[in-house]
Amino acid sequence: MDAVRGDISGRRRQKRRWRFGNAEFDEGRWALSVGGQPVALETKPLELLRVLLLRAGEAVSKDELLDAVWPDVAVVEASLPTAIAKLRRALGDTDKEVPIIETVARIGYRLAVRVEETGESAPALAMNEAPMPQRAWKLWPWGIAAGAALLIAGLFLFQQPWLNRAGIAVAGAPQREAVSAIRSLDVAAIDAMLREGWDPNIAFDTEGNAALGTLVQICEWDPAHDRQKLLLAARKLIDGGALYHSRNKWGDTPYSIARAERYCGADHPVTRMMHSLCYAGTDAPRDDCLADYASARTKD
């Protein structure tokens, strides 16, 4: 049991594969499949699943789950049941008479089905190990040249930034959809993209601002925005793995941007929420929450 607890608290990801019910979780590849079909799921619900698998059959308290999945972070009260609900939906566990994940009243949750550790994660096929076709077709020089030209043109078009109405440069269609959802504070769309595996920490622009840093800039270009919807969008992004303390190329973090009077200001609910995460009940914030312009100058 001590080894299991150390594995949870140390957050060591191994290459185990687990089978439970009609689902399989490949820890090495960090992939969940249900009924033999891959299921896209955010990081936090998968981390909860991993803890429950390591403690299969036991009632795991809410505090233990919070400490394992959100270490050293003060999260909103609904974060744990929200992540559990997403995990249950992914497993098809919402309408079963005998649930896969059982709620243990006044304690926490239990994985209530038989769990089998089936071995190590299947290695991914390396590029140089891919099977060769049985017949090699002859490519004429003009064909090779035309194919190369099309490839270069495609890469060029894909990598060109698209400017949205807020002036944010975004590369690629998924990021354009993400910016659109953030601009309109469409929490449902943000949630759907996170469930489909979208990474909110991919930079939206050449300055290194990702989803959360872009979200708080709404305070500047739309002063009449819905403050509560912006807060809900920020919570959704953070629950989905968005970093509130990552720095852009200028050394600013989403928190330092939000608290600036030019943007949201100290009294905005989204600033107060990130303040509670950065300070976590102490008198001093995490060092990486604050802007660091000296390090930005060093990078330049």
* Same-domain check for residues 80 and 192: no
Query: Can you spell out the DSSP letters for the chain?
Result: -HHHHHHHHHT----EEEEETTEEEETTTTEEEETTEEE---HHHHHHHHHHHHTTTS-EEHHHHHHHHSTT----TTHHHHHHHHHHHHHT-SS-SS-SEEEETTTEEEE-S-EEEEEEPPPPPPGGGSPPPSSPPP--HHHHHHHHHHHHHHHHHHHS-EE-TT--EE-SHHHHHHHHHHHTT-HHHHHHHHHTT--TTS-SSTT---HHHHHHTHHHH-TTS-HHHHHHHHHHHHHTT--SS---TTS--HHHHHHSTTTT-TTSHHHHHHHHHHHTTSSS--GGGS--HHHHHHH-
Contact 200, 254 (CB under 8 A): no
CA–CA separation, 20 vs 33, rounded Å?
A: 11
* Same-domain check for residues 288 and 178: yes
In a domain, 152, yes or no: no
For residue 249, which of 159, 169, 179 has the smallest C-alpha distance? 169
* Same-domain check for residues 199 and 97: no
The residue from 59, 93, 120 where one domain ends is 120
The residue from 120, 151, 176 where one domain ends is 120
In a domain, 134, yes or no: no
In terms of residue numbers, what domain contains 101? Answer: 2-120
* Same-domain check for residues 172 and 284: yes
* CATH, residue 23: 1.10.10.10
* Same-domain check for residues 223 and 169: yes
In a domain, 232, yes or no: yes
Can you give the pLDDT of all 300 residues of the chain as single tens digits?
444 444 554 445 577 899 998 999 998 888 899 998 988 888 888 999 999 999 999 999 999 998 888 876 666 667 888 889 889 988 988 766 778 999 999 899 999 999 998 876 655 433 333 333 333 334 444 444 545 544 444 444 334 443 333 344 444 445 778 888 888 999 888 988 888 788 888 887 788 888 999 999 999 888 899 999 999 999 999 888 888 878 888 888 899 899 899 899 999 999 988 888 887 656 655 666 777 765 544 444
In a domain, 246, yes or no: yes
In a domain, 154, yes or no: no
Structure tokens at 63: 């505090």
For residue 201, which of 236, 164, 243, 172 has the smallest C-alpha distance? 243
39's CB contacts (< 8 A; 6+ apart) are 32, 33, 90
* CATH, residue 260: 1.25.40.20
Distances from the Cα of 171 to the Cαs of 176, 196, 200, 203, in angstroms?
Answer: 7, 19, 14, 9
In a domain, 108, yes or no: yes
Q: For the chain, what is the domain count? A: 2
Query: CB neighbours (10 Å) of residue 48?
Result: 22
In a domain, 57, yes or no: yes
Structure tokens at 58: 């036991």
* Same-domain check for residues 77 and 12: yes
pLDDT at 23 (0 to 100): 93
In a domain, 143, yes or no: no
pTM, full prediction: 0.45
Distances from the Cα of 160 to the Cαs of 57, 62, 249, in angstroms?
Answer: 51, 46, 19
pLDDT at 28 (0 to 100): 83
CA–CA separation, 82 vs 226, rounded Å?
A: 23
Contact 28, 16 (CB under 8 A): yes
